Structure 1
Amino acid sequence: MLFTDGSVDTKTRIGFGAYLAINSTESPRADLKTKVKVKKFENTSSTTLELQTLLWAIDDVFLLHPEKTKRVAVYSDSQNILGLLARRSSLEVREYFSRDGKQLNNTEFYQQFFKAMDQCDCQIIKVDGHKPRHSKNDTDQLFALVDKAARFALREFNRQIS
């Protein structure tokens, strides 16, 4: 299971992505919290950051060890990521250009995403990112770990530069 999320400051275009890769949900939440990895990204947007974070996580965890790669359930609240596989053929047919002839902003990341999806047996699963605590199931609680880590890292970064 791979949980990814990001948080970006639209003014500075700096964001932090976070991921959690686990084989089982058996571990206590406190142990899982220590396994969340966070990375800073610059000159990004929320859409781009979600892609950057997922690509980093896949590269970091799975592509470095292809012999260990199995079926991976990717949990994300990103509408862009959730819809990319369905949009793949139209993006490739148009060679990553919009209908008005402009190259899409995230062309490079889309291409990397599709390559990663071809190399890993990934299933993308939608998570509602900001449910009230009382409405969260186990999956939502695991996703909240990466959501909180990304938001915390961005807040701390902004606090330090202020």
Structure 2
Amino acid sequence: MIYVDRVKPTFFLFTDASVNPQTNVGYGAYLLLAEYELEAPHQEERVRIKRFTKTTSSKLELQTLLWALSEIKFKKRKIIIFTDCQNLISLQDRRERIIKNNYMTKKNELLRNHELYKKFYTLVAHNECDFVKVKGHKKTQEKDFVDNLFTLVDRASREALRDSLT
């Protein structure tokens, strides 16, 4: 039997994004589940989607995560974040250096997404966040439980972008 703390559960956040590089318009999607909701039916109905403009692929992944985290009303919770974006994963590892360098590059210029990085570090600090790298676009027979949940946000962001182009 699995113990589930319904008072202070662990949350699972799945995020993904799709952008059209010609128009710099993209769609981010996220799915937030408490541990006791992981096997609930109709998870696809809980996926949230948002349109972003003047963005790039890496920026959109970050914007989507920030949007999702800013909508979470609780603080000081364990959140496991699933993403296929290596930039998001590496931001945690680069935190100390980025802050120490005051969000500046080696050429003494502000980092391109410095404002988003500042917000990222603030929001992540409000909770106990762990990042898990998911390999996107796996074949169906290779997918596990987590991959199937991640597919919901992957598909939602790609379909929203595709629909906006027609």
What TM-score do the two structures reach when normalised by structure 2? Answer: 0.89
Aligned mate of 1:97, from 77, 85, 104: 104
Unpaired stretches in structure 1, ≥5 consecutive residues: none
- Following superposition, the deviation at residue 27 of structure 1 comes to 1.1
Partner of 1:34: 45
Greater per-residue helix proportion: 1
Alpha-carbon distance in 1 for matches of 2:31, 2:145: 14
Q: Deviations over 1:58-113 (max 9, x none)?
A: 111x2x333xx521111001100000111011101111111122211110011100
Aligned mate of 1:10, from 17, 21, 31: 21
- For this pair of structures, how many residues does the alignment match? 153
Alignment RMSD, CA only? 1.0
What TM-score do the two structures reach when normalised by structure 1? Answer: 0.91
Partner of 1:157: 164
Work out the percentage of aligned pairs sharing the same amino acid: 38
Alpha-carbon distance in 2 for matches of 1:89, 1:73: 21
Within-5 A mapping of 1:82-161: 82-159=89-166
SS where residue 135 of structure 2 aligns?
coil
Partner of 2:79: 72
Unpaired stretches in structure 2, ≥5 consecutive residues: 1-11
Alpha-carbon distance in 2 for matches of 1:150, 1:75: 15
